[in-house]
Chains A and B, each alone.
Chain A
Amino acid sequence: MRHDLSATGSAFGLRPITLADARFVVELRTGSGRSEFLHSIAADIPRQEAYLARYFDRPGDYYFVIYRLATGQPEGTVGLYDVDRDAGTAQWGRWIVQEGSLAALESAVLLYELAFDRLQLRMVYCCTVAANTPVVSFHRSFGLTTHGLLPRHFRIGDRVYDAVEQRLTREQWSEIRAGVRATAARLAERMARLQGSE
């Protein structure tokens, strides 16, 4: 949906996606090295614009572009959707960062800040293809709890995949936030210092 939520961290920020980002999304999701676990998308710009136009009208759906603060250049996307304000829950996904980008950690931190601190949600969950072990492991390392296996949850192309549902509660977030923020800040400090020395 159209929204005005945004967040800035130490090196990266999240801003609402716009129609003008359609080309970036297509390049991001169809570029070389993309995961086999990505859902296929409207793979040309007009169709991606049409997808975004439908997204703008969909309530409870916050879609963001991850960008580098120093340059404004987009480096990925992430979304918070199926927001249930009564239950205080939402799912997050559409999380893709460019190959070689260092945005993964801070974009996740910012997403949780928006979910828990701004939207005041109680719990955020994500469903990841079980075979996508780097992402399942990332969420576990971050502090999410594995809630269960969802058999045959995803159909991607002509293949069916099990999914792992992982959850983070507001209480868990309050326990881990300082640690993950510190790691993201240290990485950002490094990036800034090296950019300054170039």
Chain B
Amino acid sequence: MATDSLRLKVGEIVGLALRRPPDDLIGLERGQISEWDSLKHMEIVFAVEDSLGIEFREEELLDLNSIAAICEAVERHRAA
């Protein structure tokens, strides 16, 4: 379970990239957010990595399709 601070941080990054209030994005998947295209996706991934000091694996990149999924992946990396 992701911490509140992590959810807030990831939500802030995703919201900034998509120019949407983070609260509007909670609980939504990438496919439900028209602005979350493949270019924005890479911007989000790199911003999360830079901000949190982790590096996702290539096979993870396309599965980071929601704030919750990103948080879970970050937690996995931190636990590894």
Contacts and interface: CB of A to CB of B under 8 A. Distances in A.
> Is chain B a partner of chain A in the same complex?
yes
Does more than half of chain A's interface fall in helix, strand or loop, or is it mixed? helix
B57 A105 contact: no
A133 B34 contact: yes
A136 B38 CA distance: 11
B58 A191 contact: yes
Given A100-B62, A190-B58, A183 B43 contact: yes
Residue in A100, A134, A140 with the greatest tally of chain B CB atoms within 10 Å: A134
B40 A137 contact: yes
B34 A137 contact: yes
- Of the four ranges (under 10, 10 to 19, 20 to 34, 35 or more), the interface on chain B belongs to 10 to 19
A141 interface: yes
B29 interface: no
Interface string B29-59: 0000011111110110010000000010110
Contacts of B35: 137, 141
B46 A102 contact: no
Contacts of B26: none
A196 to B, nearest CB: 12
Contact of B57 (A104, A138, A142, A194): A194
B69 interface: no
A134 B42 contact: no
A135 interface: yes
Residue in B38, B58, B61 with the greatest tally of chain A CB atoms within 10 Å: B38
A7 interface: no
Nearest to B34: A133
A135 B37 contact: yes
Contact of A138 (B37, B55, B61, B62): B37
Residue in B34, B37, B42 with the greatest tally of chain A CB atoms within 10 Å: B37
A179 to B, nearest CB: 10
Contacts of A134: 34, 36-38
Given A137-B36, A138-B38, 9 more contacts: A102-B58, A102-B61, A134-B34, A136-B34, A137-B34, A183-B43, A183-B46, A190-B55, A194-B58
Interface of A: 100, 102, 104-105, 133-138, 140-142, 180, 183, 186-187, 190-191, 194
21 contacts: A100-B62, A102-B58, A102-B61, A104-B38, A105-B38, A134-B37, A134-B38, A136-B34, A137-B34, A137-B35, A137-B36, A137-B37, A138-B39, A141-B35, A141-B37, A180-B39, A183-B39, A183-B43, A183-B46, A190-B55, A190-B58
